[in-house]
Amino acid sequence: MEVLGPAIELSAKHMQRVVIDTDPGTDDALALLMALNSPDLRIEGITTVGGNATLAETTNNALRLVDHVAAGCDVPIAVGAERPARGSFSHAYHVHGADGLGVDLPAARLAPHPADAVEFLRDRALAAPGRIAVIALGPLTNVAAALDGQPEVAQAISEIVVMGGAVEVPGNVTPHAEFNIYEDPWSANAVFGSGVPVTLIGLDVTHRTAMHRDGGPRWFEGTSRSAQLGNRILANSFRERADVQEFYLHDPLAVAAAIEPELLTLRRAQVAVVTDGGERGRTVASYGDGPVKVALGVDVGRAVEIVRKLISN
């Protein structure tokens, strides 16, 4: 990788209290398992967004997953946006399976939180100014809507860790764009320009962290529901996609970095997103000063170890 000037190391501040905004999604599911098992994170809530699948499916997947592996844990799940700021989500069933998860889980006994995702994000941030971080694992529609016209909310959120973008590398949905950013480039622009500190974990680093087909069928150790579900998700994903050798740990890397920021090498930038035309979804960094810390390096061995350890639980 070409490093364009001096890299910065993220301070060793660990996030404790987080809201996870997500569109599960197989790799979102692994990220949720990690967060639910991590002693270093307190999950204030999960907010759902359409993206990998419809909003109804991603919400149902979040509810079923939490109910299955952490029944009684009291993590609220608030329902978010069905569509991006403009148009509609395109979904990624070819990557994530039929309902966005591809594995059977018992029907959820949990119900969604009464507040919607935007209200929920705002309430949690304002109730604990400077102490809540957001880990955003899907299109940034909910997060942008929560910040829209609410400077006190922007002020209150300590940091947004975003899985998204392809800054110095090719995209995964077009030669220029990564899926989460491509799906709602308008919201991504709003978040990157909101002034809230953002750590941007894009394909620059997530395409280096993967679980390999050969590592199965027991990628995760133990007999816990979490380990079993993680193994089922990976086994199914590899079964459905015979030509694929690597399952990229996109969203799991964002959770790992929220727990252990030293994993990443970061460079500060202003990031703008192309919203129209053939380069839609392209994340363009102007390095120097700016509110976004772009991840350009990752300790791959340690990142994979954190993922394994937390899901093996």
Kindly indicate which of the ranges 61-69, 138-146, 154-162, 282-290 contains the residues binding Ca ion, using the contact rule CB under 5 A.
138-146
Structure tokens at 8: 């910065």
Kindly indicate which of the ranges 151-159, 175-183, 189-197, 222-230 contains the residues binding ligand BDR, using the contact rule CB under 6 A.
175-183
Amino acid at 13: K
Contact call for residues 26 and 233 (beta carbons, < 8 A): yes
Among positions 34-53, residues that touch ligand BDR (CB under 6 A) are 52
Determine if 28 is a binding residue for ligand BDR (CB under 6 A).
Answer: yes
Between CA 232 and CA 238 the distance in angstroms is: 10
* CB of 63 or CB of 156, closer to Ca ion: 63
Kindly indicate which of the ranges 8-16, 35-43, 116-124, 174-182 contains the residues binding ligand BDR, using the contact rule CB under 6 A.
174-182
Which one of residues 180, 265, 312, 313 is an interface residue with ligand BDR (CB under 6 A)? 180
* Nearest approach, Cβ of residue 163 and Ca ion (Å): 6
Contact call for residues 58 and 119 (beta carbons, < 8 A): no
Active-site residue flag, 250: yes
* Nearest approach, Cβ of residue 223 and Ca ion (Å): 27
Amino acid at 121: L
Cβ-based neighbours of 36, under 8 Å, separated by 6 or more: 43, 66, 69, 70, 73, 75, 226
* CB of 85 or CB of 92, closer to ligand BDR: 92
* CB of 53 or CB of 125, closer to Ca ion: 53
Total residues at interface with ligand BDR (CB under 6 A): 15
Among positions 226-265, residues that touch Ca ion (CB under 5 A) are 251
Of 67, 184, 250, 299, the catalytic one is 250
Cβ-based neighbours of 155, under 8 Å, separated by 6 or more: 129
Bridge partners, 286 (sequence order):
270
Among positions 130-149, residues that touch ligand BDR (CB under 6 A) are 137-138
Type and span of the H or E element at 212: strand 210-212
CA angle 127, 66, 178 (to 5 degrees): 80
Contact call for residues 138 and 182 (beta carbons, < 8 A): no
Between CA 130 and CA 122 the distance in angstroms is: 13
Cβ-based neighbours of 285, under 8 Å, separated by 6 or more: 167, 267, 269, 270, 271, 292, 294
Could you say which of ligand BDR, Ca ion, none residue 234 binds, taking C-beta under 5 to 8 angstroms by partner kind? none
Residues designated catalytic:
23, 250
Site residues (vs ligand BDR, CB under 6 A): 25, 27-28, 52, 92, 95, 137-138, 163, 172, 178-180, 250-251
Site residues (vs Ca ion, CB under 5 A): 23, 25, 28, 137-138, 251
